[in-house]
Chains A and B, each alone.
Chain A
Amino acid sequence: MNDTGEIGDTTTAVTPAICCLHIAGFRIRIVNPDENSRLETGYLHYIVPKSDLYDLELTVIPVQKLKLPPGIPAFEASSPGKKYFSIYNADNDRILLAVYNPNPPYQLQQVAEICLHDPHWTIHTQLFQSGLYSALAYPLGPLIFYHLCLLHPAIMIHASGVGFQGKGRLFTGFSGTGKSTMAELWIKNQAFPVNDDRILIRSNNGRFEMHNTPMFYAQHPASYPLDAVYLIRHNAFNRIVPLKGAEAVSGMLAFCIQHHYSRRNIESHLEFISGLVEKVPVFSCGFVPDNSIVRYIVENGV
């Protein structure tokens, strides 16, 4: 959406009434009332042929005038002068997610009903004057993926991920620590790129896989097995140190996309990461942002 509250140029994919997406191995079925639904560019390559099989079904209800859920939100994601989303009924299995347009005046753009024991959710979405609507308009899309992870052994993390010579490596850290830089260095060495900013990790029969998810730009779906995690920071020289136990869990959890408004969410994240660090080596990684880190990790890491 643009800042006039109408669907903007980033929304280009015209979708049928029943639209199916395949994202990170999840089959998502979107049921629209008509063919006035639009998806943002980032979803373009995730659209798959219609199917009755799904991991999540989203029923879309366009509304002329959205209303906030009643009551006081249990959680609010906001910064001074800006609102992102609010959570209502946080302790129930059925929560309400009120999501705002990321541009001023931050109008309410969706209210999603999310059920954490049932893969049938509803999205009430703002109907525009043009008669069009965009149910997964940012930031609801990633929030849907986040909550879908709560129904499965999965988690989302701020990270870059690449596959190289049969090994999948994930690089995570605070903003500015070099996740994108690291990914670029590996890609220059012919690595397969999963994503340079956000990764969804899934557990599949004890093996862990990393996946990309729709971003603001068009990209094809990408996945790779996960063989090692590196907690990165810039350093004067290349050095990796293996991490175990609480240090590995807390180090990795700090960079996961977390909405700690409920005990359930936190316990789910802890359970998943605890299981992951038992199977996947985790390293602290100080690196020099040049090609030497690629050689260093190949020779000294996993």
Chain B
Amino acid sequence: MVSVQQIYECKQHLIARRMGNEVILVPVRSSVSGMSRIFTLNEVGAFIFDEINGLNSASDIARHISEAFDVDMNTAMTDLQDFLNKLFAFIHE
């Protein structure tokens, strides 16, 4: 499973641009491989991305998701882990 800390360390290699409730992520790359791939975060994904700041633990973030989007903690934790896994895969393609 991908950790919050792993994603936090990857953020330095991503350029994020907010557009309304969404965020576009573009990776800094050292080769042409995957150059055209861009990741778009929906409102929940953008929220989680902002929460990954080197200070919040996974539990903290899940609790914040639960409060902001009115979902139970189990759902929030599942959504968070799913987000971390997908973003990690995108960054390391």
Chain A residues within 8 Å of B, Cβ to Cβ: 74-79, 245-247, 249-250, 253-255, 258-263, 266-267, 269-270, 274
Question: What chain B residues lie within 8 Å of A259 (beta carbons)?
Answer: 35
Number of A-B residue pairs, CB cutoff 8 Å, is 60
- Check A266–B19 contact: CB distance below 8 A: no
- Check B15–A274 contact: CB distance below 8 A: no
Q: Return the 6 tightest CB-CB contacts between A and B, nearest first.
A: A246-B22, A266-B15, A246-B19, A250-B38, A270-B17, A254-B36
Instruction: Tell me, in angstroms, the Cα distance from A220 to B86 when the chains sit together.
Output: 47
Question: What chain B residues lie within 8 Å of A78 (beta carbons)?
Answer: 31-32
Show 30 A/B contacts (Cβ-Cβ < 8 Å), sorted by A: A74-B30, A75-B30, A75-B31, A78-B32, A79-B32, A245-B19, A245-B20, A246-B20, A246-B22, A246-B23, A246-B24, A249-B17, A253-B24, A253-B38, A255-B36, A258-B36, A260-B26, A260-B27, A260-B28, A261-B29, A261-B30, A262-B28, A263-B28, A266-B15, A266-B26, A266-B28, A267-B15, A267-B17, A269-B26, A274-B17
State whether the Cβ of B66 lies closer than 8 Å to any Cβ in chain A: no
Q: How many residues of B contact A (CB 8 A)?
A: 19
- Check B35–A258 contact: CB distance below 8 A: yes
Chain B residues within 8 Å of A, Cβ to Cβ: 15, 17, 19-20, 22-24, 26-32, 35-38, 40
- Check A76–B31 contact: CB distance below 8 A: yes
Choose from A245, A253, A258, A260 the contact partner of B22 (Cβ within 8 Å): A245
Instruction: Tell me, in angstroms, the Cα distance from A76 to B17 when the chains sit together.
Output: 25
Question: What chain B residues lie within 8 Å of A274 (beta carbons)?
Answer: 17, 19
Given that A75-B31, A253-B38, A254-B36 are contacting pairs, would A270 and B26 also be in contact in the complex, using a CB cutoff of 8 Å?
yes
Given that A253-B38, A261-B30 are contacting pairs, would A270 and B15 also be in contact in the complex, using a CB cutoff of 8 Å?
yes
